Amino acid sequence: MRPMRTFGFLFRAVAFFVLIARYTMVLAQQLPPAEPPRAMPGAQDNSATLRVTTREVLVPTLVEKSGGDVVYGLKQADFMLEDNGVPQKIRVQEELDSAPVALVVAVEQGRASTLEFDKVARLAPLLDMFLTDQRSEAALMGFDSRPHLIHDYTHASDDLSEALKHLEPGDGGAAILDTISSAVDLLETQPKEYRRVLLLISEERDHGSKHTKPVGLIQKIGRSDVLVLSVSFSPATAELVHDMKDSGEDRTMSILSTLIMALNAFKKNLAKEIAQESGGEYMTFTRDKTFEARVLQAAKHVRNRYLLTFSPSDLTPGLHTIRVRTTEDYGAHIVARANYWLEAQP
C-alpha cells in the first residue's frame, strides 16, 4: 500500500506543477512581447559598454563662468576630487570631449504634456547641435504610462522631424522612472567610446511607473556613464536658482544618508535629481524661445565637459558622494557628477 500511496502523491505533485507551468505560459502569452530597440551599427556587447566600474569612475565636469562662458585649458593639477570626503588621485582628459554622441530624446506624451507639443515640434533642428560629428546619432522615445521607441538611431535630424511634429497625446501617466531606465538600456547598446546622453523633456514628478523603483534607478544611473540633461515643464524660479548654485557640496558624506536624501529628492523633483546624479543639467522653460535656448545650451555643454576619472580608495558598497573643485578660484560654477554606485566585491 505504501508504494501505491507514494506513487499517487508523486503523480498529483507532477500534475500540479504541469498545471502551474501551463498557466504561466498562458499568462505570458497575454502580455505584449518585449521588443528591444535595434543597436547602432558597430554596437558592442553590453558587457563591454560600461565605463563606470568598481575600479574606474568617470566624472564629466563642466566649468562655467557666471556669464555662461566655459573655462578652457584646465589641467589635472587644476582639479580636486573627493569621494565621501576623501581626496582621490585623478586623471584628466585635458582636451574637451571630442567623442561622437549617442543621444536618446525622451518626450513625455501623457497628462498635460500636449500643451508643450508645439514647442517640441520645433526640436529637430536643435538636435543638429548634438550631431556635429558624422558618427553621432539620435533616437526618439515617447512615453505616457509606459515608454516606447518612436524612431531608432539616425544621424539625420530630418528623420526625427516628422515624428516630433505628429506626436499623439498619451494617457494619464508619466512613467519617468521606467522611461529613464529604458533609455539607459538603449544608450548602453552603443559603442563604449561614444558619449551617451539622455535628453529628457518632461514634467518633474513620476506618475505611473510600474517596473522601476527609485533605489533601482539610483543604482543604475550610478553604474552607468549616461549623462542626463533634463528640460522640464512648469519652471519654479526658486528651484532653478538653487540648482544653479548647488553642485552637491552640501550633501552629507554618509553613504546611507546620501541614499535617503536622493530618495527624498526623487519625490520632490525626479527630473532634477536624476540630472544631478549623472553630472548633467536640469533646466526649465515656459516660452518657446526659452525652450530653444535651454536645448541649445544643453547641446553646447555636452561637448564642453572635462573627463575626470579615478579609482576609488574606499570600496564600501553603496552610493558614494563626489565633490569636484578647482584648486584656484576662477569665479566659475562647476557641474559634475554628484554620486556613483559601487557594487560589492565578489
Out of 114-118, 243-247, 254-258, 287-291, pick the least confident: 243-247
Q: Distance between CA 255 and CA 253 in Å, rounded?
A: 6
Range 46-95+306-342 classified under CATH 2.60.40: yes
Q: What pTM does this model have?
A: 0.70
In the chain, residues under CATH classification 3.40.50.410 are 101-302
**Architecture of the CATH domain 101-302:** 3-Layer(aba) Sandwich (3.40)
Number of alpha carbons in the 13 Å side-chain half-sphere of residue 338? 25
pLDDT in tens, 92-143: 876 556 788 999 999 999 988 888 898 888 888 888 888 888 999 999 999 9
Whether pLDDT at 187 is above 50: yes
**Three-class SS state of 186:** helix
Mean pLDDT, rounded, of the chain: 76
Longest dimension (CA), the chain: 91
Q: Distance between CA 299 and CA 293 in Å, rounded?
A: 10
In the chain, residues under CATH classification 2.60.40 are 46-95+306-342
Banded model confidence at residue 304, pLDDT cuts 50, 70, 90: confident
302, amino acid identity:
V
The three cell numbers locating residue 285: 522653460
